[in-house]
Structure 1
Amino acid sequence: MSDKRVYSDNPRVLAVQTLAKIKNGAYSNLQLNQVIKQHQLSEADKRLLTTLVYGVIQHRLTFEYWLAPFIGDKKINPWVRELLYTALFQMQYLNKIPQHAIFNESIEVAKILGHVGTAKFVTAILHNISRQGLPEISAITDPILRLSIEASLPVWLIEELVTQNGEAATRALVATINDAPMQSIRVNTLLASDDEVVAALAAENLTAVKSQVADHAYIVSGGHVASSTVYQKGWLTLQDESAMLPVESMVLTPAVKTILDAAAAPGGKTTQIAQAIAADAKITALDVHPHKIKLIEQNAARMQVSDRIQTQVLDARKVASEMETTFDRILVDAPCSGFGLLRRKPEIRYDKTLADVQNLARLQGEILDSVSQKVAENGMIVYSTCTILRQENDDVVARFLANHPEFELVKTVTSHQLKPDRHEAVLHIYPNDYHTDGFFVATMKKKSGTPA
C-alpha cells in the first residue's frame, strides 16, 4: 500500500488501494464489499470500482507481460504497479473511456497516493506506452506460455488442462474464463412457485430468465438479488446453476429418510436437499468450522427449512469413528482447489499450486473413505467438486472405487439430462459448456448385500 494514509471516495484511488490489499492476501469479494460499505459511492462509481478490481485481477499476467519492457529492472512500489495495471485495463478493455482521460485520472491517483515524483514516473510510463505500443502476445513462440499470458493463468495450470483436455478444448475453456459471472437463483419451492418468484422479482425491477441447466433455476439481471424483499423472505437463494446439479443427482425419492451433507457450509446444497425430501426425512449437515455451521443455520432459517436440518461441527474424515447413524444418501461436496470458480474468485489462479491440488486430492479421498462406512444398503454417495482438474475428480473417484469394491459407479443424472450422449458415467461441467461455474459430479451406489 501507499505510505500515505488517504481517505478518498475516488473509485480509481479505492481500486488501487483494494488491489494492493488483495495482492497482500485479502479476499477480493470481502475486501470489495468492505470498501463499498465504508464509502459513499454512486452506483456508477461502485460499478467502476468493481470492474477495475476484478479486471486487473483477471488479467494480471497479461498486464505484467505488457508492462515489463517499460519498467525494466526498476524497483517500483507495489501500489504503483497496481495503478499502472488499472490504466492498462481501461485502455485495453474499457473502450468508452478516452485515453487522455485515463492518463489524467491515473496521474491524479499517483499524486493522491504518492508525490510529485511518483506522478512524473507514471506520466512517463503511460506516454511511452502510448508512443511505442504494447508488446504483441503473438510474438511468444512457446504455445503454453503464450496461452498462459493470453488467459492470465499460470503455466502449470495451462499445462495440466492441455494434458487432460487437449489444446483446442483448453483454448475454448479459457476463452470464457474472464467473462463476468451471471447471477443465478434457485426457487424455494416449499414457500413459492417459480411463477410467483419471477413475478415478485419483476415487481422489484429484476428480470428472471429460466435456466437451461437446472430445475427451478433462473438467471437474474437488473439489480442486486440479495437486497430484494423476495430474497429476505426466503423464497429463493443465490446459487450457481451447476452447483445445483449434485443434489439433482441424489435421486431424493420419498423413501430416502436419512441424508448426510458431509461438507455443507454455507448451506446452499443443504437447503436444496431440504426442499426435495419428504417431511419426515432428516438431514445431518457437517462442517469442521463452528462459524461456518452458523452460516448453514442462517441459510436454513431464512428459507424456513431448519426443522429438516440438524447441524454438527465435525471433520468429515471422522464420520466413521464419531457417528452411529447410517444414511440413505451422502453428499460429499468436497473441499477443492476451486478452479471451476475462476470467474467469481479470479485471484485463486495465482494462489494455488499443483502441490495444493495433490494435497486436496488426498483429503478428498480420506473423506470418501470415512463416509463410505456409514452408507446404508443400496444407499448412494454423490461426490462433487467445483474444480475442473482430474486429479481432484476422476482420479479421486477411481482410487475410491478400487479400494471399495462394495460400491459401483452409476451414471450421474440431472433434471435437464445434461450431456446425455457422454460416454462416461461421471459428469464434467466446464465453464464454457453453459456459461456456469465448472463442476464435477460422480454418483456411487452401494451394492446389495453389503451392509454398513
Structure 2
Amino acid sequence: MTKYVLRETALNLLTRIGEQGGYSHVLLDREINKQNLSAQDGGLLTEIVYGTLQRRDLIDFYLEPFTAKQKKIKPWVRWLLYMSVYQMVFLERVPDHAIIHEAVELSKKKGHKGISSFTNGVLRNIQRKGIRDLDEIKDPIQRLAVETSHPKWLVERWVSQYGKDVTEDMCRANMHHLPMSVRVQPLRLTRDEAMEQLREDGYKVEESIFSKQGFIVSQGNILNHPLFKEGKLTVQDQSSMLVAEMMDLEKGMTVLDACSAPGGKTTHIAEKLEDEGTVIAYDLHEKKAKLVNEKAEQLQLTTIKASQADSRKLDERHDPETFDRILLDAPCSGLGVLRGKPDIKYHKKKEDIFSLRKIQDDLLEKVSPLLKEGGKLVYSTCTVDKHENEEAVQHFLKAHPEFQLDPTFIEDLPEELKSSAGLSEYGLQLFPQDWDTDGFFLTRFVRKSE
C-alpha cells in the first residue's frame, strides 16, 4: 500500500469514527484484514488513527489560532488537519513536507481548490510558526483535560473521586496504546510451550502476573501466528483475565455468564473448569451470542452453551439457586478501556454513567437469586467510575442481606495485587497506570448459607 493510499484510508476511518460513532478498534481491525496489510503498513495505519484519536482535543488546541477565521470547516477537512498535525508534531519518521504534500493531494481529490489552499495554508503556518504553549491555559484542570484530550467533566469527576495525582496519572496512561496480551488454551498447550515457540519465531513475550495462562506480547503480530490461527491462543487484556481466575472454579460446576460477548471470559471459565461442567452464557444480541459459540468452537471447548436473552429476565428460564457460580460482567461506561478505544471519551456523557448504573442494579437484582447457597458471584466492569463500581456494590449489599462480600477474595488475588492501591473493602479497582492494563473493577459476593 502506498503512503498516500494509507493516509487516505486513515482519513476515511477517522471521519467514520469521529462523525458517525464507529468503533475504532472494530473498524481498524476490519480494514487491516480487508486490505491484507503488511505489519509495517498496519502499524503505521494504527499509529495514525489511534494517535490522532487519543490527542484530538490537544491537536484542536494547536490548530485553533490557524483556523479561527474559517467560519465552517467540513468534518473530513478537520480530521485531515488533525491527522496531519498529529504526524507533524508526534511522529519523527515522516518529514513535514511529505505530510503537507499528501494532505494537499488528499484535499484536492476529496474537495476543491479552495479546500486544498486552506489545508496547505494552515499546515505551512503551523510548520513556520510552531504550536501554542499549554501554559496559556491557567486553570490546571482545563490544562490537564486539553493536554491529555479528556473531556473536562470527566477529569473533574475523577479528581473528585480519586484526587489530582491519580487522575493525572490515569489521563497520561490513556495517551499510550495498550500492549497486546494473550491467554493460552491450557488443555491444548502450556504457557511455557507457547512462549518458547513464540520466542523461537522472533516474538518478544513475558509472563503476566494476572493469570498463569496469560502473557504479554511486546514484539510481533500474534494474529499472524499459527498458534492463534489454530485456536490455541486468545487475545485478552490482562485485567480481563483476572475475572475467571477470581471465580474460584472447580471441575463439574454449573456456571452462568450473564453478559458474555464477545466470549473471552466465557471461554476462560470453560478452560478453568477443564471443559468439565456447564457454562450457560447469554447476551442481549443474537449476533453477539453467536460469536461466543464460535469462539468456543475455535478453542475446542464443549461445555459452553450461548444464546440470546435479556439477563434481566433469566428468572423465566432458570429456577432459583441453579448455579454454583455466576459472572456478571456488567454493561458499563467503558471508561477504563480508553487506551484501546479512545473514541469512547468523546462520545460518553455524564448522564450515561447514571443510566448504565440502573441497568447494573437491575442485572444484579435479577441474576443473584439464581445462585445457590454458598455460591459465589463475581461482579466486574471495565470502568473506573465509583458510581458503577463501589457504589453499585454498596447498593446491592444494602438491599440483599443474604449476600456478603467474600472474605477470601483478597487471599485469592495474585500476590502482587494484594497490596494494590485500588483495593478497598468493596473490591479491586485496577487503574491503567498501575499495571499497564485496562482500568477494571471486580469483586466477589458469596450467598450466605441459612
Please indicate, yes or no, whether the TM-score normalized by the shorter chain is above 0.5: yes
Matched residue, 1:313: 308
SS at match of 2:173: coil
Q: Which residue identity is paired with 2:93?
A: K
* Deviation string, structure 1 residues 303-358 (Cα, Å, up to 9, x no partner): 1112x112232111112233126111100011111111111111010111111111
Tell me how large the CA RMSD over aligned residues is: 1.9
| 8 A contact 2:397–2:404 mirrored in 1 | yes
Q: CA deviation at 1:289?
A: 1.1
* Deviation string, structure 1 residues 261-293 (Cα, Å, up to 9, x no partner): 111111111111111126542111111111111
* Aligned counterparts of 2:278 and 2:308: Cα–Cα separation in 1: 17
SS at match of 2:331: coil
* Aligned counterparts of 1:438 and 1:119: Cα–Cα separation in 2: 41
Q: CA deviation at 1:133?
A: 2.4
- Structure 1 residue aligned with 2:148, among 131, 140, 151? 151
* Aligned counterparts of 2:219 and 2:416: Cα–Cα separation in 1: 28
- Structure 1 residue aligned with 2:177, among 170, 175, 180? 180
Q: CA deviation at 1:224?
A: 2.3
* Aligned counterparts of 1:194 and 1:183: Cα–Cα separation in 2: 16
* Aligned counterparts of 1:199 and 1:40: Cα–Cα separation in 2: 27
| 8 A contact 2:191–2:212 mirrored in 1 | no
Q: CA deviation at 1:72?
A: 0.9
What TM-score do the two structures reach when normalised by structure 1? 0.93
Q: Which residue identity is paired with 1:48?
A: L
* Aligned counterparts of 1:31 and 1:280: Cα–Cα separation in 2: 36
* Aligned counterparts of 1:287 and 1:171: Cα–Cα separation in 2: 35
* Deviation string, structure 1 residues 419-452 (Cα, Å, up to 9, x no partner): 3234534001000010001110011111110xxx
Matched residue, 2:447: 446
Matched residue, 1:213: 210
* Aligned counterparts of 2:376 and 2:209: Cα–Cα separation in 1: 26
Q: CA deviation at 1:121?
A: 1.1
* Aligned counterparts of 1:291 and 1:128: Cα–Cα separation in 2: 49
* Deviation string, structure 1 residues 211-231 (Cα, Å, up to 9, x no partner): 133222111143322232111
Shift of the 344–266 alpha-carbon distance from structure 1 to 2, 3 Å rule, reads same
Of 315-324 and 400-409, deviating more is 315-324
- Structure 1 residue aligned with 2:368, among 367, 372, 381? 372
| 8 A contact 2:204–2:218 mirrored in 1 | yes
| 8 A contact 1:8–1:14 mirrored in 2 | no
* Deviation string, structure 1 residues 44-95 (Cα, Å, up to 9, x no partner): 3332222111111111111111111111142112111111111210121112
| 8 A contact 1:206–1:220 mirrored in 2 | yes
* Aligned counterparts of 2:426 and 2:333: Cα–Cα separation in 1: 23
* Aligned counterparts of 2:7 and 2:247: Cα–Cα separation in 1: 47
Of 121-130 and 195-204, deviating more is 195-204
Shift of the 415–226 alpha-carbon distance from structure 1 to 2, 3 Å rule, reads farther
Of 147-156 and 214-223, deviating more is 214-223
Matched residue, 2:279: 283
Of 258-267 and 225-234, deviating more is 225-234
* Aligned counterparts of 1:423 and 1:30: Cα–Cα separation in 2: 34
Matched residue, 2:435: 434
* Aligned counterparts of 1:51 and 1:387: Cα–Cα separation in 2: 24
Alignment map for 1:14-93 (pairs within 5 Å): 14-23=9-18, 24-39=20-35, 41-74=37-70, 75-93=72-90
Shift of the 106–265 alpha-carbon distance from structure 1 to 2, 3 Å rule, reads same
| 8 A contact 2:393–2:426 mirrored in 1 | no
Alignment map for 1:88-99 (pairs within 5 Å): 88-99=85-96
1:397 aligns to 2:393 (yes or no): yes
SS at match of 1:337: coil
Q: CA deviation at 1:171?
A: 0.6
| 8 A contact 2:180–2:216 mirrored in 1 | yes
* Aligned counterparts of 2:159 and 2:54: Cα–Cα separation in 1: 20
* Aligned counterparts of 1:45 and 1:239: Cα–Cα separation in 2: 24
* Aligned counterparts of 2:393 and 2:220: Cα–Cα separation in 1: 40
Shift of the 119–312 alpha-carbon distance from structure 1 to 2, 3 Å rule, reads closer
* Aligned counterparts of 1:268 and 1:195: Cα–Cα separation in 2: 21
Shift of the 43–317 alpha-carbon distance from structure 1 to 2, 3 Å rule, reads same
SS at match of 2:273: coil
What TM-score do the two structures reach when normalised by structure 2? 0.93
1:104 aligns to 2:82 (yes or no): no
* Aligned counterparts of 1:236 and 1:119: Cα–Cα separation in 2: 47
1:130 aligns to 2:130 (yes or no): no
Matched residue, 1:113: 110
Q: Which residue identity is paired with 2:161?
A: Q
| 8 A contact 2:39–2:221 mirrored in 1 | no
- Structure 1 residue aligned with 2:417, among 415, 419, 422? 419
Q: CA deviation at 1:362?
A: 0.6
* Aligned counterparts of 2:106 and 2:26: Cα–Cα separation in 1: 23
* Aligned counterparts of 2:226 and 2:401: Cα–Cα separation in 1: 50
| 8 A contact 1:214–1:242 mirrored in 2 | no
Shift of the 304–170 alpha-carbon distance from structure 1 to 2, 3 Å rule, reads same
| 8 A contact 1:316–1:371 mirrored in 2 | yes
Q: CA deviation at 1:241?
A: 0.5
Of 39-48 and 171-180, deviating more is 39-48
* Aligned counterparts of 1:423 and 1:259: Cα–Cα separation in 2: 27
SS at match of 1:141: coil
- Structure 2 residue aligned with 1:11, among 2, 6, 22? 6
* Aligned counterparts of 1:201 and 1:269: Cα–Cα separation in 2: 24
Shift of the 99–9 alpha-carbon distance from structure 1 to 2, 3 Å rule, reads closer
Q: CA deviation at 1:40?
A: 6.7
* Aligned counterparts of 2:366 and 2:117: Cα–Cα separation in 1: 61
* Aligned counterparts of 1:425 and 1:28: Cα–Cα separation in 2: 33
Q: CA deviation at 1:20?
A: 1.1
SS at match of 2:256: strand
* Deviation string, structure 1 residues 228-261 (Cα, Å, up to 9, x no partner): 211122222111000011111111134x621111
Shift of the 136–309 alpha-carbon distance from structure 1 to 2, 3 Å rule, reads same
Of 164-173 and 280-289, deviating more is 280-289
